[in-house]
């Protein structure tokens, strides 16, 4: 810890001229906020945060010390500085003591910087004349048992903050207009709901979906828990609404190709993949009035190429020209050009009136401008064959839950008859392996809970009891997580219906070579005995993971992901739909596993958040941007290449080349300012003299 020498100045008479010490090095010439040289009078406010701070340090000693720091004109403390009386203290002190800067030593600026800036503003100062010293999260909480050490550290933090506060300047946020349009990436139930909410709120919304139809995972499900609604039945009306909504511009079989700009003004390029089939609208644009695909399927009937249908997880064939299922939106066929042999039979079948098929179609790039964007990129099934012990893809009668959904679904490949893949027989004994690859710390599966597998496995158990007389479902589980509304009740119901629950993680599954039956090996941890159970079919409730394209898409929008790959929200509790990139929001499972109700709720939250800047019409940008000190700038342009946000450019001014900042693009990262060889870049709010003063305050321990 740095040794301190107490300054001799007293609390009330800091009108000494020491103020000039650091500022004398360089007089900044910022574009905005430059005030006439004025003596700094800093007010310091110490927060007890109940016992969070006051319980771990001697706050009175910190107060006494603070009063001796140069430029400090007023010191006070309060139980909760963030409370209304606490804020009132700041406002009153600014007026009574003619303060020029405010320091609050409390929690983190992430939490209360806006609160105290407002109080500073209410007191009559520019809100950017506020500086926060974090003496809680980085001090009292981590040094809970070192009272002396944390007290000394708090003194340092306050001294450093005062050093900066003495040099703070007035700053004024810039406003930029917001384009009255939004984009939603991914048209599963989350993306559809978000797009519908935005559209109904009067906002033009581009809904981008990479597959040929909207509907996502939910459209692959048979029934939903715990209500046992038919998934398609409740989803298709929404799909139709999306297809018809006036404000939604639906772009299926399309991907986001590039994103430029910032909140309010994102320029997005969309790649419309070559579909080979014209919509009626596209046909009309080509002069084929009354033409275009009407979904009749004549092409499908003649196409000679057969491929597995990914919507049915390969359990049903499709042609090279295909739709996923009869309820697709939009009802437009798609040609899989990777397998199309261009025989032209479909063109003939489509006929001279529709002329919907264009075998030479190419990817198109479309540019749109939007104010905000929502990512709803969803999930994929974890490749459960990686958990070799369960033999998926090795044993025919081991399937995943999503395959089960298709097999039990009336519109699925077997017309809703659950059969064993090996022999087409109806299984009587079905084992469900829960947490298959979830809550897995072996390094192969996923450490997190996939959050809906317990519930859909209960539903699966119900479905086989209902559909197959005499069938017994065996659920191998760690614990059943039935946390939602009416979920626990559903769990009891399935128990009463006769499902068998065995608490134990499945160690191994073996196949009987002759019968293709499976032996599920586990330890029944309630009865404390090993189990070898012979069953006809095993269903793995496989973990989920972010969908394939998530990583590429998130990078385009500058969104981070957490360690587990799910997209990172701005705050896990208080801002779950926002991201750290202004104007970009998250909906549904791309942020983390969610069941359908939570997904829809999250989508509505994201839509609401994304509509706010659009309805406001303009957004304020933090005034932390870089400024070029033109007389110092040599126009070398090195900063231009360094800027990660493409915010800088070179311009001709008075016959010289100088750098110019596009303030709306600048994030104030400081890369250019730190690099500039001529010191010609002034970083607002993080100016060199301010930072140097902070470093000096720390290293010199208050010594002048």
In the bound state with another protein, the residue whose beta carbon lies nearer, of 301 and 444, is 444
Residue 527 CB, shortest distance to another protein, in Å, is 19
Give the three-state DSSP class for 636.
Answer: coil
Q: DSSP string spanning 76-144?
A: EEES-TTSHHHHHHHHHHHHHHT-SEEEEEES-HHHHHHHHHHHHHHTTS-GGGEEEEE-IIIIITTTT
Applying CB under 8 A, does 388 fall inside the site for another protein? Answer: yes
Report the C-alpha gap between 439 and 441 in whole angstroms.
7
Q: How far is the CB of 515 from another protein (least distance, A)?
A: 13
513 vs 529 by CB, closer to another protein: 513
The neighbour count for residue 143, using CB atoms within 10 Å, is 18
CB of 546 to another protein, least distance (A): 22
Closer of 446 and 594 to another protein (Cβ):
446
Bridge partners (DSSP) listed for residue 368: 268
Q: Which of 683, 678, 643 is nearest to 30 (CA)?
A: 683
Cβ burial of 341 (10 Å; 0-12, 13-18, 19+) is: exposed
245-264 positions binding another protein, by CB under 8 A: none
Query: Which one among 387, 439, 462, 667 touches another protein, defined by CB under 8 A?
Result: 387
Site for another protein in 313-372 (CB under 8 A): none
Beta-carbon neighbour count of residue 281 at 10 Å?
9
Q: Where are the alpha helices (DSSP H) in 210-358?
A: 231-244, 280-285, 298-302, 345-354
| Mode of pairing for the β-strands spanning 364-370 and 265-272 | antiparallel
CB of 519 to another protein, least distance (A): 9
User: Taking CB under 8 A as the rule, does residue 508 contact another protein?
Assistant: yes
Per CB under 8 A, 497 contacts another protein:
no
6 binds another protein (CB under 8 A): no
Q: Which is nearer to another protein, 444 or 486 (CB)?
A: 444
d(CA 218, CA 210): 16
The residue among 533 and 700 lying less far from another protein, judged by its C-beta, is: 533
Coil vs helix vs strand at 481 = coil
Applying CB under 8 A, the site for another protein has a residue count of: 13
> Within 513-532, which residues bind another protein (CB under 8 A)?
513
Kindly tell me which of 496 and 514 has the beta carbon lying closer to another protein: 514
Stretch that binds another protein, among 257-265, 418-426, 438-446, 550-558 (CB under 8 A): 438-446
**Shortest reach from residue 388's CB to another protein, in Å:** 4
Cα(181)–Cα(267) distance, integer angstroms: 11
Please identify, using beta-carbon distances, which residue of 35 and 442 lies nearer to another protein: 442
- Stretch of 37-45, 160-168, 363-371, 508-516 contacting another protein, by CB under 8 A: 508-516
Determine contact, residues 366/250, Cβ cutoff 8 Å.
no
- When asked if residue 393 is in the footprint of another protein (CB under 8 A), the reply is no
Which residue stretch of 157-165, 331-339, 380-388, 472-480 sits at the interface with another protein (rule: CB under 8 A)? 380-388
Of positions 306, 341, 410, 444, contacts another protein by CB under 8 A: 444
The Cα 364–Cα 344 span in angstroms is 22
Q: By CB under 8 A, which span of 186-194, 288-296, 436-444, 605-613 interacts with another protein?
A: 436-444
Give min distance, CB of 2 to another protein, in A: 29
Residue 526 CB, nearest distance to another protein (Å)?
23
By beta-carbon proximity to another protein, the closer residue of 352 and 443 is 443
Instruction: Classify burial at 573, counting beta carbons within 10 Å of its beta carbon; exposed 0-12, middle 13-18, buried 19 or more.
Output: exposed
Please work out, in degrees rounded to the nearest 5, the angle formed at the alpha carbon of residue 206 by the alpha carbons of 205 and 212: 135
* 394-423 residues near another protein, rule: CB under 8 A: 394
Binding window for another protein (CB under 8 A); candidates: 108-116, 353-361, 506-514, 585-593: 506-514
In whole angstroms, how close is the CB of 443 to another protein at the nearest point?
4
At 650 the three-state DSSP class reads strand
What b/e readout covers 353-377, taking b as 16+ CB neighbours within 10 angstroms?
ebbbbbbebeeeeeebbbbbbbbbb
- Span from 237-245, 346-354, 435-443, 645-653 in contact with another protein (CB under 8 A): 435-443
- Residues 6+ away with beta carbon under 8 Å from 105: 44, 45, 46, 47, 62, 132, 133, 134, 135, 154, 157, 158, 161
Window contacting another protein (CB under 8 A); options: 227-235, 303-311, 382-390, 604-612: 382-390
Q: Is 520 helix (H, G, I), strand (E, B) or coil?
A: strand
Among 389, 423, 466, 489, interactor with another protein by CB under 8 A: 389
Binding-site member from 386, 467, 552, 615 for another protein (CB under 8 A): 386
Strands (E) in 337-452, as ranges, are 364-370, 372-375, 379-381, 398-400, 429-436
Stretch that binds another protein, among 22-30, 128-136, 370-378, 441-449 (CB under 8 A): 441-449
> Is residue 510 near another protein by the rule CB under 8 A?
yes
| Residue with Cβ nearer another protein (388 or 497) | 388
Eight-class DSSP state of 326? T
Q: Closest distance between another protein and the C-beta of residue 442, in Å?
A: 6
CB count in 10 Å sphere of residue 154: 28
Please identify, using beta-carbon distances, which residue of 148 and 532 lies nearer to another protein.
Answer: 532
Residue 286's alpha-carbon distances to 241, 281, 289, 333, in angstroms, are 27, 9, 8, 18
Stretch that binds another protein, among 186-194, 309-317, 383-391, 465-473 (CB under 8 A): 383-391
Integer Cα distance of 603 and 588 in angstroms:
6
26 or 508, CB closer to another protein? 508
Q: How far apart are CA 683 and CA 559, in angstroms?
A: 24
Distance separating alpha carbons of residues 606 and 193, to the nearest angstrom = 10
The smaller minimum CB distance to another protein, of residues 49 and 520, is found at 520
Shortest distance (Å) from residue 510 CB to another protein: 5
Q: What's the closest the beta carbon of residue 506 comes to another protein, in angstroms?
A: 12
Q: Which is nearer to another protein, 85 or 530 (CB)?
A: 530
Is residue 380 within 8 A of residue 546, CB to CB? The reply is yes
Closest approach of another protein to the CB of residue 481, in Å: 25
CB 520 to another protein: min, Å: 13
Dist. CA 537–CA 517, nearest whole Å: 7
CB of residue 511 to another protein, shortest distance in Å: 8
Q: In whole angstroms, how close is the CB of 512 to another protein at the nearest point?
A: 9
CB of 535 to another protein, least distance (A): 16
Q: Which of 211, 354, 236 is nearest to 296 (CA)?
A: 354
Residue pair 106/49 in contact by the 8 Å Cβ criterion: yes
Binding flag, residue 442, another protein (CB under 8 A): yes
The separation between the first and the last C-alpha atoms of the chain, rounded to the nearest angstrom, is 18
CB 625 within 8 A of CB 661: yes
Which residues would be at the binding site for another protein (CB under 8 A)?
386-389, 391, 394, 441-444, 508, 510, 513
């Amino acid at each position: 810890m740095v040794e301190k020498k107490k300054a001799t100045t007293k609390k009330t008479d800091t009108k000494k001229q020491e103020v000039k010490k650091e500022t004398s090095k360089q007089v900044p010439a910022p574009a905005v906020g430059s005030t006439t040289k004025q003596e700094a009078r800093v007010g310091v406010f110490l927060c007890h945060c109940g016992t969070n701070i006051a319980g771990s340090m001697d706050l009175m000693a910190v107060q006494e010390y603070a009063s001796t720091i140069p430029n400090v004109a007023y010191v006070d403390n309060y139980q909760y500085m963030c409370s209304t009386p606490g804020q009132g203290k700041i406002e009153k002190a600014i007026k009574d003591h003619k303060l020029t800067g405010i320091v609050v030593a409390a929690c983190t600026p992430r939490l209360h910087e806006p609160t105290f800036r407002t109080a500073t503003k209410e007191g009559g100062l520019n809100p950017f004349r506020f500086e926060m010293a974090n003496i809680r999260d980085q001090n009292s909480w981590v040094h809970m048992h070192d009272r002396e050490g944390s007290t000394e550290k708090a003194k340092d933090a306050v001294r450093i903050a005062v050093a900066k506060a003495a040099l703070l300047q007035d700053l004024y946020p810039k406003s930029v207009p917001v384009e009255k349009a939004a984009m939603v990436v991914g048209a599963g139930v989350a993306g559809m709901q978000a797009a519908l909410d935005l559209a109904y709120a009067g906002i033009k919304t581009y809904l981008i979906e990479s597959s040929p139809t909207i509907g996502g995972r939910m459209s692959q499900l048979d029934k939903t828990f715990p209500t046992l609604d038919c998934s398609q039945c409740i989803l298709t009306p929404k799909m139709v609404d999306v297809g018809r909504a006036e404000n939604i511009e639906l772009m299926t079989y399309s991907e986001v190709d590039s994103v430029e700009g910032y909140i309010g003004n994102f320029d997005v390029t969309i790649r419309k993949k070559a579909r080979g089939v014209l919509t009626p609208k596209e046909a009309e644009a080509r002069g084929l009035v009354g033409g275009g695909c009407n979904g009749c399927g004549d092409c499908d009937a003649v196409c000679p190429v057969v491929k597995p249908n990914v919507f049915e997880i390969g359990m049903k064939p499709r042609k090279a020209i295909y739709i996923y299922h009869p309820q697709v939106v939009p009802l437009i066929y798609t040609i899989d050009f990777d397998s199309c042999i261009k025989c032209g039979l479909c063109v003939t079948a489509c006929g001279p009136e529709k002329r919907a098929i264009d075998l030479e179609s190419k990817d198109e790039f479309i540019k749109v401008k939007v104010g905000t964007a929502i990512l709803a990129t969803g999930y994929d099934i974890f490749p459960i064959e990686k958990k070799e012990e369960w033999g998926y893809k090795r044993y025919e009668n081991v399937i995943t839950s999503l395959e089960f959904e298709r097999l039990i679904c009336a519109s699925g490949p077997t017309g809703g008859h659950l059969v064993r893949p090996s022999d087409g027989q109806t299984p009587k004994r079905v084992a469900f392996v829960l947490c298959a690859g979830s809550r897995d710390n072996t390094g192969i599966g996923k450490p997190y809970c996939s959050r809906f597998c317990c519930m859909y496995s209960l539903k699966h158990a119900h479905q086989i009891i209902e559909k197959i007389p005499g069938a017994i479902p065996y659920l191998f589980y760690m614990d059943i997580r039935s946390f939602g509304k009416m979920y626990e009740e559903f769990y009891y119901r399935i128990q009463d219906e006769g499902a068998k629950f065995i608490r134990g993680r499945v160690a191994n599954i073996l196949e009987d070579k002759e019968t293709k039956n499976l032996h599920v090996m586990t330890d029944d941890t309630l009865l404390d005995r090993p189990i070898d159970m012979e069953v006809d079919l095993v269903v793995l409730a496989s973990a989920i993971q972010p969908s394939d394209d998530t990583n590429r898409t998130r990078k385009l929008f500058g969104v981070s992901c957490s360690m587990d790959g799910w997209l990172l929200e701005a705050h896990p509790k208080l801002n779950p739909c926002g991201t750290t990139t202004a104007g970009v929001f998250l909906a549904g499972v791309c942020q983390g596993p969610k069941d359908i109700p939570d997904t829809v709720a999250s989508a509505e939250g994201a839509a609401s958040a994304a509509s706010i800047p659009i309805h406001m019409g303009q957004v304020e940008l933090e005034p932390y941007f870089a400024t070029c000190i033109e007389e110092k700038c040599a126009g070398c342009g090195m900063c231009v290449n360094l800027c990660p946000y493409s915010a800088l450019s070179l311009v001709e001014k008075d016959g010289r080349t100088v750098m110019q900042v596009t303030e709306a693009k600048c994030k104030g990262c400081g890369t250019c300012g730190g690099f500039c060889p001529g010191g010609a870049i002034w970083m607002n709010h993080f100016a060199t003299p301010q930072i140097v003063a902070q470093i000096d305050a720390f290293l010199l321990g208050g010594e002048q």
